Amino acid sequence: MAQGIDGGLWLLIREHMKAPTWQRIESGLTASGIPDLNGCLNGQEIWVELKKVVGRQVKLTPYQVGWLVRRSLAGGRTWILARHQHGGGPRLGSPVDRLLLWRGEHARAVKEKGLEAEALCELILPTPFDWYQLMVTLFGEQQKISQQQIWQSPQS
């Protein structure tokens, strides 16, 4: 099962999406609401809030919602990437491990509705995760990202 408050997403992204330059943001209380991750690829910059689904909720703070929505309205590419994972059971049904990606402009709905806001998702990826599709969605198809490029670090 996933570890940490982000469902292990940062470790997965760092391992499987090496082409972008990533900066993990550890802002704490100094800059409330700034997303967990900033990425840049071929001049395209993005901001990603990483979350683990707890129950059916995607827990966003009011500061995170405000930051994501304001930056989106200013033309920035902001995202919420959540990992929905459970081992299954009589009440839960079959085991689940999937990624859900929402545009930051939908942060209010995601905070209020959690998984009920699934219809607003830009992308839903079951395991095994399609890292190429995730990268193309995050950075935009115009980036002409090659399949091989996803695993190469910018320094290669």
Average pLDDT, the chain: 89
Number of domains the chain is built from = 1
Say whether pLDDT at 104 is over 70: yes
CA dist., res. 41 & res. 4, Å (int)? 26
pLDDT per residue as tens digits for the range 109-142? 999 999 999 999 999 999 999 999 999 999 987 6
State the DSSP string of the chain.
---TTTTTHHHHHHHH--SSEEEE---TTTTTT--SEEEEETTEEEEEEEEE-BTTB----HHHHHHHHHHHHTT-EEEEEEEEEE--BTTTBS-EEEEEEEEGGGHHHHHHHGGGGGGG-SEEEESSP-HHHHHHHHH-GGG---TTGGGS-TT-
Q: Looking at 10-14, 68-72, 129-133, 143-147, which range is the least confident one?
A: 143-147
Residue 3 lies in a domain: no
Predicted confidence (pLDDT) at residue 71 exceeds the cutoff of 70: yes
Task: Characterize the bridge pairing of strands 44-52 and 77-86.
Answer: parallel
Q: Is 71 part of a structural domain of the chain?
A: yes
Kindly report whether the global pTM for this prediction surpasses the value 0.75. yes
Share of the chain above pLDDT 90, in %: 69
Which residue carries 């999406």 as its tokens?
17
State the CATH number of the domain containing residue 68. 3.40.1350.10
d(C-alpha 138, C-alpha 130), whole Å: 12
The answer to whether position 100 is within a domain reads yes
Q: Which candidate, 96, 57, 64, places its Cα nearest to that of 79?
A: 64
Q: Tokens 């993005």 identify what position?
A: 46
pLDDT digits (tens, 9 = 90+) for 19-61: 899 999 976 655 789 999 999 998 899 999 999 999 899 999 9
Domain-located, residue 103 = yes
- Residue 1 within any structural domain of the chain: no
Flag whether 64 is in a domain: yes
In a domain, 4, yes or no: no
Domain interval for residue 145: 9-151
